Amino acid sequence: MKGLYHIEHRKMPTRRRRGRRGEWIFQSMAFVALVFTIAVLVVLLVDVFRDGVLRLNWQFLTSFPSRKPELAGILAALVGSACLITLTALFAFPLGVGAAIYLEEYARKNWLSRVIEVNIANLAGVPSIIYGLLGLELFVRMMRMDRSLLAGACTMALLVLPIIIISSREAIRAVPVSIREASYAVGATRWQTIRYQVLPLAFPGILTGTILAFSRAIGETAPLITIGALTYVAFLPTGLFSPFTALPIQIFNWVSRPQKGFLTNAAAAIIVLLIVLLLMNAVAIWLRNRYQKKLY
């Protein structure tokens, strides 16, 4: 660390011009990098849009998959994704927020809370397909949920849990200590303080983080394939134990086929998926902007 404070004399500019040229080279490289990044995003969106927008119509949204690409649709996938994400939210939201409250408000600074903390950070970095393997053994085989909506939602819940915990903790930490102290001073218990003071203030932040976590879950494909979500489903899910498909799986299935028509379908389904994501993110940003100012 010592060396940081000390700039070698050799590297100091002897001529100002040299420094200026270096500056120019760096700035133009950075500019190229920025333009490249933005260009990739634009090209990606334009490419998908151009491929799929003509296929997008009411029939596409309300039809079941078919062997003929022009008759196929994404109804089962869309409803499957909606059910899956709702169930996942039901499981993951209370558990995640509960864990965040525990870690921020209750846990003492001892080895156990340190272990939990490191463990959560680690889980956030485990590849999603590994969660799929866990879901396959634990939910599909051992708990005999079979390849059902419930098994998919449980797997997804475990997958998004670390993200929810991390973002909820940040939101809870942002609530000033003075508010808790004021609450304790008028005789509130710890839970009353959390329930009536901390949570209402932290809630917009928690909600924003959670929505972003679920928008990630909606696009997640690998774990669902591993637990065996079907790729050809011509019915709507009827209950928790019903087989299901989801939008990204439908896209994957269509992309893997050689026929041109299915590739077009994939592009159209991608547009739908991106619109759903856009809406979810817009809601998250709206919540953030709306409540951020009111707080402090």
Partner 1 sequence: MATKNRQKWEPRTGERAIIHHKRASRIREGAIHLALFLCGILSIFTTLGIVAVLVIETVEFFKEVSILGFLTDTQWTPLFVDKHFGIMPLVCGTLLTSLIAMLVALPIGLLCAVYLSEYAPERVRHVLKPVLEVLAGIPTVVYGYFALLFVTPLLQGLIPSMSGFNALSPGIVMGIMILPIISSLSEDAIFAVPQSLREAAYAMGSTKLQVSFLVVIPAAFSGITASFLLGISRAIGETMIVAIAAGQQPRLTPNPLVPIETMTAYIVQVSLGDTPTGTLEYRTIFAVGMMLFLSTFLVNIVSLWLRRRFREVYL
Residues 49-68 that bind partner 1 (CB under 8 A): 51
Instruction: Give residue 189's identity as a one-letter amino acid code.
Output: T
Q: How many CB atoms lie within 10 A of CB 214?
A: 21
Residue 35, amino acid: V
Query: Exactly one of 180, 184, 228, 236 binds partner 1 (CB under 8 A); which one?
Result: 228
Residue 186 near residue 259, CB atoms below 8 Å: no
Part of the chain binding partner 1 (CB under 8 A), chosen from 64-72, 77-85, 173-181, 185-193:
185-193
The least CB distance from residue 287 to partner 1, in Å, is: 16
CB of 68 to partner 1, least distance (A): 21
Distance CA 220, CA 156 (A): 9
The CB-of-54 to partner 1 minimum distance in angstroms stands at 16
Positions in 70-99 near partner 1 (CB under 8 A)? 94-96, 98-99
Closest distance between partner 1 and the C-beta of residue 71, in Å? 21
Instruction: Give the C-alpha separation, 62 to 73, whole Å.
Output: 6
183 binds partner 1 (CB under 8 A): no
DSSP 242: S
Neighbours of 196 (CB within 10 A): 11
Distance CA 182, CA 125 (A): 38
Stretch that binds partner 1, among 30-38, 75-83, 203-211, 233-241 (CB under 8 A): 30-38
**Residue 11 or residue 294: which is nearer to partner 1 going by CB?**
11
Q: Which of residues 100-119 bind partner 1 (CB under 8 A)?
A: 101-103, 106-107, 113, 115-116, 118-119
How many CB atoms within 10 Å of residue 159?
26
Residue 38's CB is within 10 A of a number of other CB atoms, namely 10
Q: Is 12 in the site for partner 1 (CB under 8 A)?
A: yes
Nearer to partner 1, 110 or 294 (CB): 110
Cα radius of gyration rounded to whole Å, the chain: 25
Per DSSP, which regions of 10-128 are E strands? Answer: none
Residue placing its CB nearer to partner 1 in the complex, 36 or 286: 36
289 binds partner 1, rule: CB under 8 A? no
Among 14, 26, 54, 90, interactor with partner 1 by CB under 8 A: 26
Residues 126-145 that bind partner 1 (CB under 8 A): 126-134, 136-138, 141
At position 129, the amino acid (one-letter code) is I
Q: Footprint of partner 1 on residues 156-175 (CB under 8 A)?
A: 158, 161-162, 165
Which residue is it, tokens 């499957």? 80
Q: Scan residues 242-261 and list those touching partner 1 (CB under 8 A).
A: 248, 251-252, 255-256
185 near partner 1 (CB under 8 A)? no
Task: Tell me the two tokens of residue 167.
Answer: 């973002």
Asked whether the beta carbons of 174 and 104 are under 8 A apart, the reply is: no
